[in-house]
Amino acid sequence: MYKDLKSKDPDMPYKQIMSKISQTLGIGLNSVCKIISEYKSTGTVASPTKTRSKKCLFDKIDDLDRNGIRQKVHSFWLKKELPTIDKVLEAVNDDPALPNFKRTTLYTTIKKLDFAFIKRKRCSVLTEREDLLVWRQNYLYDIRKFREEGRTVYYLDETWVNAGDCVDKLWVDKSIKSKHDAFTRGLTTGATNPTGKDQRLIVLHIGSHKGFLEGGLLCFLSKKNSSDYHDEMNSNNFHEWFESIIPHLDPNSVIVMDNAPYHTARIEKIPTASSKKDEILSWLTSKGIVIDKSMFKPQLMAKVRKIKSRYISYVVDNMAKNAGHTVLRLPLYHSELNPIELAWAMVKTYVKQNNTTYNIDDVKSLLNTAIDRVTSENWKNFIEHVKREENKMTEVDRNMDEIIDNLEPCVLTITGETSDSSDF
């Protein structure tokens, strides 16, 4: 429109052109002026920035904080006390290592950690959701069985290292008033401030009681400005790396990993409620299911749910199985059961203590040195710590089962649906 109006009437005032475009297209005058100004200065027009959905607090806190909240709930069960939302809120907010929560925000966060609020007598008790509890106990049974069989257990995980990572506290000479003062006294102004914070290394590795697996490190520079390092990895990258490390594993080993999307890419796409009706019909037909084409979509999805468990198969699991290995997945939000998290903590501490240049290449060199410093003895200690955590979780589940079974139940049970605040 701008070009057309200019060609028809070159002498038309700029403001009049803007006003005419705005009225004709129904677009705000300021937006029209901004777009035309951008075009005149750059020769092109960028796509409007899409409004991003606002992240809730649960998305902002990291796995360490989520795990800390879960452990606060478990601590009550270990003491054979009933955890209520008020008790947990006080415990979380009293811990300086955890974020401070409002009552309703903590309630929402805990539910997203797959806890359930079960009504007993005059209060609601926090307990694990049944499916997560079953998953955890199955995991604990399997990992103990594999150890008893003498199979090597490998643990893998991703993390990140920022160019600006450094220690939070250090000694400062407060007698130095300025750079000139330091120079005249033959002193320094202390450590320089971190730079290059936007640069980040994404790191993937795998290890066992023997230490980090030789040749198992994958490290690359982040290209996305994202708060979540998981955004950097994709299924293709992970599968390529996984295939490369399989030949280096001990025979008949077990590989423990979490449930990141690229760890759980499926061989076959199974229809969901968002699938087109024709796609659902085609999938059911391919499985030999006799269907009536006059059936409605909810009826077809009911048939899908009935048989889909037979066809859930993951790419990584098949790769491992074909090489004689077994993949074991951690329960959701249970990073404390992965000893590599302790290895990462040791690695990052070394990098922070020795990072003085904040240069990404220097940080990468520090990272490699830090990984080499983690010995097999360290790994054995990490695994022993995890075993103690596993025993603690079994005790939590035992106490939970015993105490809840002896409580007088109420009619109302809340297991995942939003409740009124008066219920908790």
**Residue whose pair of structure tokens reads 């320089």 in the numeric block:** 192
The predicted model gives 282-310 an average pLDDT of 87
| Strand 153-162 with 123-128, pairing | unpaired
Q: Is the pLDDT of residue 381 over 50?
A: yes
State yes or no: pLDDT of 423 exceeds 50: no
Nearest to 422 by CA among 129, 127, 128, 117: 117
CA 236 to chain centroid, in Å, comes to 18
Q: Residues 137, 335: contact at Cβ < 8 Å?
A: no
- Tally of residues, the chain: 424
Q: Is the pLDDT of residue 410 over 90?
A: no
- Kindly tell me if the per-residue pLDDT of 32 is higher than 70: yes
**Residues 70 and 127: beta-carbon distance below 8 Å:** no
Q: What percentage of the chain carries pLDDT values higher than 70?
A: 82
* pLDDT range class, residue 7, cuts 50, 70, 90: confident
User: What is the pLDDT, as a whole number, of residue 60?
Assistant: 76
What amino acid occupies position 366?
L
Beta strands in 102-210 (DSSP E): 115-120, 123-128, 153-162, 200-208
How high is the pLDDT of residue 254? 97
Domains in the chain: boundaries: 2-42, 61-132+395-423, 148-392
Report the pLDDT value the prediction gives residue 47, as an integer from 0 to 100: 74
- Cα separation, 83 vs 126, whole angstroms: 6
pLDDT confidence bin for 419, thresholds 50/70/90 = very low
Q: Read off the pLDDT of residues 255-277 as tens digits, 9 standing for 90 and up.
A: 999 999 899 988 888 888 888 88
Amino acid at 50: K
Which tokens hold the place of 409?
A: 């139940």
CATH 3.30.420.10, domain 148-392, yes or no: yes
Taking the alpha carbons at both ends of the chain, their separation in whole angstroms is: 60
Q: Collapsing DSSP states into helix, strand and coil, what is residue 210?
A: coil
Task: Output 368 or 62, whichever has higher pLDDT.
Answer: 368
Q: In what order do the strands lie in the sheet with 409-414?
A: 123-128, 115-120, 409-414
pLDDT band at 52 (very low <50, low <70, confident <90, very high): low
User: What separation in angstroms does the CA of 335 have from each of 56, 59, 64?
Assistant: 21, 16, 8
Which tokens go with 147? 């150890």
Contact present, 118 and 402 (Cβ < 8 Å): no
**Digit-coded pLDDT (tens) for 168-194:** 554 445 565 554 455 454 555 444 445
Least trusted range by pLDDT, from 41-55, 95-109, 397-411: 41-55
- Considering the chain, what is the average pLDDT of its residues? 83
Token pair, residue 59, equals 């998305």
Integer Cα distance of 395 and 410 in angstroms = 25
Burial group, residue 140, by CB count within 10 angstroms (0-12, 13-18, 19+): middle
> Are the folds of 61-132+395-423 and 148-392 the same?
no
pLDDT, position 389: 94
58-67, 100-109, 130-139: which range is least confident on average? 58-67
Instruction: Give the Cβ contact number of residue 225 at 10 Å.
Output: 8
Domain 61-132+395-423, CATH among 1.25.10, 1.20.1640, 1.10.3470, 1.10.10: 1.10.10
